Amino acid sequence: MAQLRAFAALAEHLHFRDAAAALRMSQPALSGAVAALEESLNTRLVERTTRRVLLTAAGERVARRAQHILADLDRLVDEVHAVRGPLVGPLRLGVIPTVAPYLLPPVLPRLAAGFPDLELSVHEEQTETIVAELLAGRLDVVVLALPAPAHGVTELTLYEEDFVLVAPASSRLDGPVQRQVLNELDVILLNEGHCLRDQALDVCREAGARAAAATYATSLSTLVQLVSGGLGVTLVPETALPVETRRAPGLSEHRFAAPAPFRRIGLGYRATSPRADEFRALADTIRAAVAESDVNVRQPA
């Protein structure tokens, strides 16, 4: 079955490096698995060129059948896990980068204590990637900003958190600020692909402001350091604020006047998954861990 999964990934990406990265395995291992499948079927499935991979006619047919076979296998595994009890055995969790460093520290110890038979693996990737991995069956459940950018994903809200304006200490901002203040400031953002970038852009558009075009960052940590260096201001979610501002000197934090801009963080899983009860238990555990932490968030009604 591992050989079939390797070939299915190659058929999807048509590139050995990308397929290997998607499966988190080495290229030689992926190539060996595909070659072993070809040997078992006694036929060529792929045509290897210097630049890309092409599927043979037989490869096209096997790729179509592989999708159905692997989907049925994933459903079978999910059903077996559901029968064994809540949060027992393997669980592949995807988390977006602007949530993982701040949510996982309070959540992981609680999961370990409450569900000792859980075999958790965590994968940190941007929203588009973890949702694609979820729908492909390579992840079981994901934590992301809602709404999920795809159909077929059931959502459970975990918490809501406000955005806070982080500026250099030398800025002359005072008290709760209005969104329109962004019109007068250079707002720096994360690179494309981060949902937090899109959310910050939405806040800027609502205020009639325009983000600075010259400076972007790949992480919240870098973003806050750039603000500390005087390159502009940025929007930071409440859960990240204690961690990131502690690492950077010379900053000031300004909350927005009500209604403050916010984001909603939730759990997403395939609508067809039989493990819905488990994921509700997982959501309850995450909510409880967040409620016991010092972060300033709102629990869902």
pLDDT in tens, 252-284: 999 999 888 899 999 999 998 888 989 999 999
Q: Give the mean pLDDT of 76-87.
A: 68
Q: Find residue 237's DSSP bridge partners.
A: 163
| pLDDT at residue 142 in the model | 97
Question: How many CA atoms lie less than 13 Å away from 40 in the CB half-sphere?
Answer: 12
The region, left, alpha or beta by phi > 0 then psi within -120 to 50, assigned to residue 88 is beta
**Rounded CA gap, 88 and 108, in Å?**
15
Summarize pLDDT for 181-198 with one digit per residue, the tens. 888 888 888 877 677 777
252's tokens:
């000031």
Which residue has better confidence, 75 or 169?
Answer: 169
Query: Tokens 């690179």, residue?
Result: 191
Interhelix angle for 57-84 vs 2-13, to 10°?
120
% of the chain beyond a pLDDT of 90? 35
Which residue has better confidence, 22 or 106?
Answer: 106
Q: Give the mean pLDDT of 72-90.
A: 73
Q: What are phi and psi of 248, to 5 degrees?
A: -125, 130
Residue 2: pLDDT band (50, 70, 90) is confident
| pLDDT at residue 175 in the model | 76
For residue 219, which of 244, 252, 250 has the smallest C-alpha distance? Answer: 244
Amino acid at position 206, single letter: E
| pLDDT at residue 98 in the model | 92
Q: Rounded to 5 degrees, what angle do the CA atoms 9, 130, 192 make?
A: 110
Query: Tokens 């409440």, residue?
Result: 238
Q: Give the mean pLDDT of 207-213.
A: 64
| pLDDT at residue 212 in the model | 60
Q: Give the mean pLDDT of 165-184.
A: 86
Task: Say whether pLDDT at 64 is over 60.
Answer: yes
**Rounded CA gap, 183 and 23, in Å?**
44
| Continuous H helices in the chain | 2-13, 16-23, 27-41, 57-84, 100-114, 127-135, 195-206, 220-228, 241-246, 276-292
For residue 244, which of 262, 260, 223 has the smallest C-alpha distance? Answer: 223
Residues 139 and 92: beta-carbon distance below 8 Å: yes
Query: Tokens 């999961």, residue?
Result: 111
For residue 210, which of 230, 187, 226 has the smallest C-alpha distance? Answer: 187
Classify 155 as helix, strand or coil.
Answer: strand
**Rounded CA gap, 30 and 19, in Å?**
8
268's tokens:
């997403």
| pLDDT at residue 84 in the model | 61
